[in-house]
Amino acid sequence: MSAVLRVPTVLRPALGGVSVIAVEGSTVGEVLLKLTATYPAIKGQLLNDDGTLHRFLNVYVNDDDVRYLGGVEASIANDDEITLLPAVAGGVW
Amino acid sequence: MLSLSPSQRDAIVATCIRALPNEGCGLLLGTSDGIVGEVVASENIAHSAKVYEIDPQVLLRTYRRADDEGVDVIGVFHSHTHSEAHPSPTDVRQAPDPTWHYLIVSLRDTPPDLRSYRVLEGEATSELVEIVN
């Protein structure tokens, strides 16, 4: 499947400075793994060591948060739009 | 410098008061010179008096609208319910963008105290908050 990945400003330095990338994969996990193979510097911001999504990364397929679609198992269809946005959070943990 | 109108300041404070006893939060739309054009309130999905997290759907909608309207998401605000308006170590560690303005509202004092910070390489530096008509 061929989809489009939208990259926020804060992640662009680790992804060659681009705002939109054409990506391939049938699941969110496949897309992110291929992305980290091409851009190893971003891996720690996207995925945990066990392959699950980083706690402070929001991933959307079109309008939907993938936490509610199965996480890294969420399916990708042709022409889907994937958006990455770091979570905005803080406080006293 | 972060520049707010009196009504934007009041909207931010009102969002934080409505969220009590939890922390309140929201996003700031505007221009790269720190002039806020719009305050976007969010539910604090952490539902906590010590932690905040912007609703991911509000985050997505706000970024898309900013793209459509040719403005930027320039920062975030959140409240400290019982402590000063200074970023916690977690606030600094979690700050996602060095170009953002991190506005903290302390509800400990009357009137509430608003202070803004820039966070670069793990270090928070305060900046002027200007209230202008």
Strand partners, A13: none
Give me the domain span that covers residue B53. Answer: 2-131
Q: Give A8-40 pLDDT, tens digit per residue.
A: 888 888 888 988 999 999 999 999 999 999 998
pLDDT digits (tens, 9 = 90+) for B112-129: 999 999 999 889 999 999
> Is the CB of residue A17 less than 8 Å away from at least one CB of chain B?
no
Q: What share of chain A has pLDDT > 70, as a percent?
A: 99
Angle, alpha carbons B67-B71-A67 (nearest 5°): 45
Helix (H) or strand (E) segment spanning residue A81? strand A81-86
Name B2's bridge partners.
Answer: B129
Torsion of Cα atoms, A90 then B57 then B24 then B39, to 10°: 110
pLDDT of residue A9: 83
Examine residue A78 and state whether it is found in any structural domain, yes or no.
yes
How does DSSP assign A11-47, residue by residue? GGGGGTT-SEEEEE-SBHHHHHHHHHHH-GGGHHHHB
Closest-CA distance of chain B to residue A17, Å? 15
Query: Across chain B, what does the average pLDDT equal?
Result: 94
Cα angle A7, B74, A79 (rounded to 5 degrees) comes to 25
Mean pLDDT calculated for residue range B5-15: 98
Residue B99 CA to residue B5 CA, distance in Å, equals 21
Nearest residue on chain B to A13, alpha-carbon basis: B97
On chain B, the residues whose CB falls within 8 A of the CB of A71 are none
For B85, nearest residue in chain A (alpha carbons): A91
In a domain, A72, yes or no: yes
Chain B contact present for A4, CB below 8 A: no
Domain of A26: which CATH number? 3.10.20.30
For B57, name the nearest residue in chain A, comparing CA atoms only.
A65
Residue A92 lies in a domain: no
Q: What is the token pair recorded at B99? A: 């170009």
- ipTM of this complex prediction, to 2 decimal places: 0.92
Question: How many domains is chain B built from?
Answer: 1
B50 contacts A91? CB cut-off 8 A: yes
| Of B81, B34, B77, nearest in space to B54 by CA | B77
A8/B63 Cβ within 8 A: yes
State mean pLDDT over B77-96.
90
Inside any domain, residue A24: yes
Cβ A91–B90 below 8 Å, yes or no?
yes
Q: In chain B, what residues touch A86 (CB-CB under 8 Å)? A: 96-97
CATH number of the domain encompassing residue B109: 3.40.140.10
Residue A38 sits in which domain range?
A: 2-86
Query: Domains in chain A: how many in total?
Result: 1
Contacts with A87 from chain B: Cβ below 8 Å: 53-54, 56, 59, 94, 96
